Amino acid sequence: MPKLPDLIATLFNQADIRINGGRPWDIQCHDETFYERIAAGSSLGLGESYMDGMWDCEALDQFFDRLLTTHHDRKIRPTPAMLVEAAKARLLNEQTKWRSLKVAKIHYDIGNTFYEAMLDPYMQYTCAYWNRTAKNLAAAQEAKLDLTCRKLNLAPGEKVLELGCGWGGFARYAAQHYGVQVTAYNISTAQIEWAREKCKGLPVEFHLQDYREATGVFDKVAAIGLCEHVGYKNYRSFLELAHRCLKPGGIFLLHTIGRNRSVTHTDPWIDRYIFPGGMLPSVEQLGQAIDDLFILEDWHSFGADYDRTLMAWHANFTNAWPRFSKEYGERFYRMWRYYLLSCAGAFRSRQTQLWQVVLSKDGIREGWKRPC
């Protein structure tokens, strides 16, 4: 019977990845117990063993591109722990109000200074839009913000609701450049504090509350990077809330990462260390939530731009790391590097998507046209 290292090496070889090979995407093994970690924990074991320094890879983005292109995530038999987590996701609502607070504490509240070093001036933590004129991250993020505003067909004086506003970049941009009034909701204390400071003097109101607590009626509604935290049990109620908050003739823009197939749970490593309770919707899941509620005006896919966005974030993170190494430590550095580059590989392999979906409450009679 083949030994465990040989079995795992064979699995990696199918993706043209070699143990102790000489190419950038090959694994360099420092501790052979990492084979047992992978066998026992699958993707969780792979990520944790990297965080613990058991192996290295010069180009993790290329490693994951190859791994995911060959669908290795579907070839590995689920461990008992994975089956338990999948069962919990089916039986429980992992994205209740109180459970959702965990992701703010673990991920979004770790330090605004840290995120300022990695992100652009508008602190956009969602996919940028690398159009023909965008030469750097800041320009690409402004292009995304402007595209979003034009898709919403914003007009001066309109009232806009933003569900899950992050550091308030969209609210600030829309108020500054399109003259709208924005009411925004978010559960991260650190993000809301930063957003309020940056939006002083603008017609923007921030609420440190869950998106489910939003009230009022608005001309337009936007949710940029929130749907990944909503959960499949809540997609319909999430869209019903947006529908309820829209005036007749209103437009809802949904900006979300998406999956090629429907699941009811997330990657266990991402769930434990990066986005607790996170979940990526599929076309089918969103379609069922939209059914007989909104008119679908546009479904724009530009997931390849997220690869470039993540690589820009990684470059900024790497350049800024000497300022943060003492405070956060080596294990955090390895965790964050693994997170950014594994996600870049996922988008590069086209196993993960980015969608902007434009929905109208009643249908736009003259027809909706995507801005150039």
Count CB neighbours of 99 within 10 A.
14
- β-sheet with 181-186: strand ranges across: 204-208, 181-186, 159-163, 218-224, 246-259, 352-360, 295-301
User: Do 20 and 56 meet the contact criterion of CB atoms below 8 Å apart?
Assistant: no
Best CA proximity match to 162, nearest among 287, 275, 254, 230: 254
- Phi, psi dihedrals of residue 247, rounded to the nearest 5°: -70, 160
* Alpha-carbon distances, residue 290 vs 43, 202, 246, 254, 361 (angstroms): 32, 33, 15, 11, 11
In the chain, where does DSSP find H-type helix? 4-13, 34-51, 60-69, 72-75, 80-91, 97-103, 112-118, 137-151, 169-178, 189-198, 235-244, 268-273, 283-290, 304-328, 330-348
**How far is Cα 361 from Cα 242, in angstroms, rounded to an integer?**
9
Best CA proximity match to 319, nearest among 137, 58, 139, 118: 118
Count CB neighbours of 147 within 10 A.
20
Task: Given the residues 199, 227, 343, 372, select the one marked as catalytic.
Answer: 343
Best CA proximity match to 343, nearest among 80, 21, 157, 64: 64
User: Do 108 and 283 meet the contact criterion of CB atoms below 8 Å apart?
Assistant: no
- Phi, psi dihedrals of residue 283, rounded to the nearest 5°: -60, -45
Give the β-pairing of 159-163 and 218-224: parallel
Tell me if residue 343 is catalytic.
yes
- Phi, psi dihedrals of residue 249, rounded to the nearest 5°: 85, 5
* Alpha-carbon distances, residue 104 vs 98, 230, 275 (angstroms): 11, 13, 9
Instruction: Please list the active-site residues.
Output: 343
